[in-house]
Structure 1
Amino acid sequence: MVNYAAARHNMVENQIRTNRITNNAVIDALGKVPREAFVPKQLRGVAYLDEDIDLAGGRYLMEPLVFAAMLQAADINPDDVVLDVGCGTGYSAAVLARLSSTVVALESDGEMVVRAGALLAGLSVDNVAVVGGSLTEGDPAHGPYQVIVIEGAVPRIPDRLLRQLTGGGRLVAVLADETGLGRVTVTTRVGEVFSSRVIVDASVRPLPEFHRKAEFIF
């Protein structure tokens, strides 16, 4: 039988702390959320490996180190409201819930909306609202947000998502070029000006909705 608590401890000590993740709140959150609860039963034994884990429908749990780097770059404060774009089964939202005041977990897959809601409720995570909707449209009804996190590689950030940030708000995503090379990037809003900086190279799988070509109607 897998000792998940020991596996989680080893993930934090061997994958996270040793790779320039120094934010204690991020480290603590990753050490307390049971990652295995959010993956298919047959994959729970590999839940703490440093790799992406398939869920369904193009969703996956992002590898722990890249996710940790994104969280550290977001510089989340305890009173922040966070939009989690592409929450899948809810693991990312559960971690974000430990770092912030409120999380709006956005998911376009209806079955995953239900699954995420049930898993989070089962873990008594009471500061997350799981909502269904288009990932590229965001969720302006519950915004604006101090932080937006996109759970997968995207070629660009839609302006409508950036517009849902507060002044001083941060959007964190892995921006990937046509070759697949990705970089954890933080975009900050100051008034009507958006500035971006690259944090670290990262290779994660794409979030499908952001890669679909526009359809034209004649």
Structure 2
Amino acid sequence: MVEQQIRPWEVLDFGVLDTLMSVRREEFVPEAYKSLALSEAEIPLGNGGSMLVPVIEGKVLQAVQVKRSDKVLEVGAGSGYFAALLAAKAEWVRTVDIEPALVNMAHDNLKRYGVENVIVEEGDAVRGWAGGAPYDLIVVSGGVPYVPETLLQQVKVGGRLFAFVGEAPLMTAQLITHVAEGKFRTESLFENLVPMMRNAPQKSHFKF
């Protein structure tokens, strides 16, 4: 998968490629879709959830440049796979999902795979999550029309936030760095379309 699918999409960081090879994606895929674990098919998780395709997972992991000292918040646990990728490089990860069935799936998958530095919690973290804040890194694993200020304020100075920002038919993957108190730098990395986060904040269309 890594050689044939990830490298051609400019995921060239050797540390990222090693992580993608060492964390077995098939261990986090529902039984009915095991044969598609390494394909570019979108894998449904039930209850409205799905896994990002491997190429996008690789591009996100490369963009956020996880450090061993990082305390990470992931918004949207899914199957637990991306939390496992983050945990392979970070000090610890807190992954939060609004859907109880996905919380259970992520917890069970991570426990079975032996990942010990991930906390899985149930709740709505798209506007922030107090437990563990502020964070060195926040990853929003689905789409949001915009990044809420309350979430940005939970990023440490020097830390960063990744999110897919916009609405259908196209979203922009953004890396936002907290460069100084109250100041943020935004980089637009690539365009894609991913499922919208449930309870994502909506832009106001009210006009006077």
Q: TM-score, normalising length from structure 1? A: 0.87
The residue type paired with residue 188 of structure 2 is: V
Distance 1:62 1:43, change over 3 A: same
1:21 to 11, 17, 28: 11
Please list, as runs of the form range in 1=range in 2, the aligned pairs for 1:175-194 lying within 5 A after superposition: 175-177=165-167, 179-190=168-179, 191-194=181-184
1:45 to 5, 29, 35: 35
CA distance in 1, matches of 2:34, 2:201: 29
| 5+ residue gaps, structure 1 | 1-10
Please report how far the alpha carbon of residue 212 of structure 1 lies from its aligned counterpart in structure 2 after TM superposition. 6.4
Please report how far the alpha carbon of residue 186 of structure 1 lies from its aligned counterpart in structure 2 after TM superposition. 0.5
| Counterpart position of 1:68 | 58
CA distance in 2, matches of 1:135, 1:88: 13
CA distance in 2, matches of 1:197, 1:142: 25
More strand per residue:
2
> Aligned residues: percent identity?
33
CA distance in 1, matches of 2:5, 2:166: 23
CA distance in 1, matches of 2:158, 2:85: 22
CA distance in 1, matches of 2:194, 2:80: 18
Please report how far the alpha carbon of residue 88 of structure 1 lies from its aligned counterpart in structure 2 after TM superposition. 1.2
Q: Is the 8 A contact 1:29 1:98 kept in 2?
A: yes
Please report how far the alpha carbon of residue 189 of structure 1 lies from its aligned counterpart in structure 2 after TM superposition. 0.8
The residue type paired with residue 12 of structure 1 is: V
CA distance in 2, matches of 1:145, 1:157: 16
Q: Is the 8 A contact 1:25 1:99 kept in 2?
A: no
Please report how far the alpha carbon of residue 117 of structure 1 lies from its aligned counterpart in structure 2 after TM superposition. 1.2
Q: TM-score, normalising length from structure 2? A: 0.91
| Counterpart position of 1:145 | 135
**Coordinate RMSD, CA, aligned:** 1.7
CA distance in 2, matches of 1:119, 1:29: 17
CA distance in 2, matches of 1:174, 1:88: 16
CA distance in 1, matches of 2:201, 2:152: 17
> What is the count of residue pairs matched by the alignment?
203
For residues 5-32 of structure 1, the C-alpha deviation after alignment (integer angstroms, 9 at most, x for no partner) is xxxxxx1111111221122221111112
1:129 to 102, 113, 119: 119
For residues 86-112 of structure 1, the C-alpha deviation after alignment (integer angstroms, 9 at most, x for no partner) is 011211101111111110011111222
For residues 106-131 of structure 1, the C-alpha deviation after alignment (integer angstroms, 9 at most, x for no partner) is 11112221221121111110110111
| 5+ residue gaps, structure 2 | none
